[in-house]
Homo-oligomer: A and B are copies of this chain.
């Protein structure tokens, strides 16, 4: 099994020391930064996440900060989601598209104030696109990557753990809202959000130097709650239908193909750079779309490249994320399936590394 070669280019995070002390066993690289993938085992981590509470180093969700009079205008140029009704204190999941309607990223936009936004990005250097657009359109806005590293607290006991560190007021944060909380004299944005379906928070840790103090405070406070270091869990995120940019979709795909049409208000998103292209897609509909797919047989091998999906002897799509789900006693997967075969219940075949498997398009994700 090849090792990962560490270098400055695979950036460490403010929490790396804690992650290492917790015995991280696997990493991926995300936004040129280390993202843990396994602590005990993917299955043990999954079981623990669903029953207790975990602290996740998701610093790799880098922020693109927009600051200045044109910040809101620029933010709207980036996405077909209509942002006019968005208030400070809200987080919006926003598809980001280029002029052809191709997805460049699927981040969470955080509105700090009318003229200050963070874009909490998935895995692409969105900073460069945003800087290029701001420069080309001569906008009055500063665009850069601030020293902000998200730390997620996820799992059914997340509210209790967070309340011990930040006070009971954290319980009042509603889904995809944030409020400001004090830690060691700093005001930090804390949102009810995260890349799992188990509930929890993301703390936007501003200032690397308070990273480990906060990490340690959470572990001390949660000792009797069996708090553990964790990370986005492959099985749990597939069960829950949480897409991964770069895995389940790329810049070849429109938001509609990704099932993100509900986040597109293309008619009213005046100024969006991809609006013309997406008006066409919105009218005609996509010809392929993300679908949950149950794959028969024993546990599949890891999915490190697209697995072709066949039906009636023709290629009708591909699977891009897959894992064995202990809770559903089935292989759960995410695929992109053509219109002709995307109805729930359709029988297909998936070409996995150890052979062709029977599979079925599902009505909905597992959880």
Which A residues form the contact surface with B (CB < 8 A)? 1-10, 12, 24-30, 32, 37-38, 98-99, 104, 123-126, 128-137, 244-247, 273, 302-306, 320-321
Contact between A136 and B132, CB atoms less than 8 A apart? yes
Please give, as numbers and ranges, the residues of chain B lying within 8 Å of A32 by CB-CB distance.
Answer: 29, 123-124, 246
A7/B26 contact (C-beta < 8 A), A12-B305, A129-B132, A133-B132 known: no
Query: Which chain B positions have C-beta within 8 A of A104?
Result: 128
How many copies of the chain does the oligomer comprise? 2
- State A139–B37 Cα separation when bound (angstroms): 42
Per DSSP, chain A at the interface is loop
Q: Are A28 and B5 in contact (CB under 8 A)?
A: yes
A-B contact pairs, 9 of them (CB 8 A): A7-B247, A7-B304, A8-B304, A8-B306, A9-B245, A12-B305, A104-B128, A124-B125, A132-B132
Are A135 and B136 within 8 A (Cβ)? yes
User: Whole-angstrom distance between the alpha carbons of A130 and B136 in the complex?
Assistant: 10
Contact B28–A3 (Cβ < 8 Å)? no
Collect the chain B residues with CB atoms within 8 Å of residue A126's CB.
128
In the complex, residue of chain B having the shortest beta-carbon distance to the beta carbon of A98: B131
A8, B136: Cβ atoms closer than 8 Å: no
Contacts of A6 in B (CB 8 A): 302, 304
Determine whether the beta carbon of A247 is less than 8 Å from that of B9: yes
Chain B residues lying within 8 Å of A244, measured Cβ to Cβ, are 7, 9
Instruction: Note all chain B residues with C-beta closer than 8 A to A134.
Output: 136
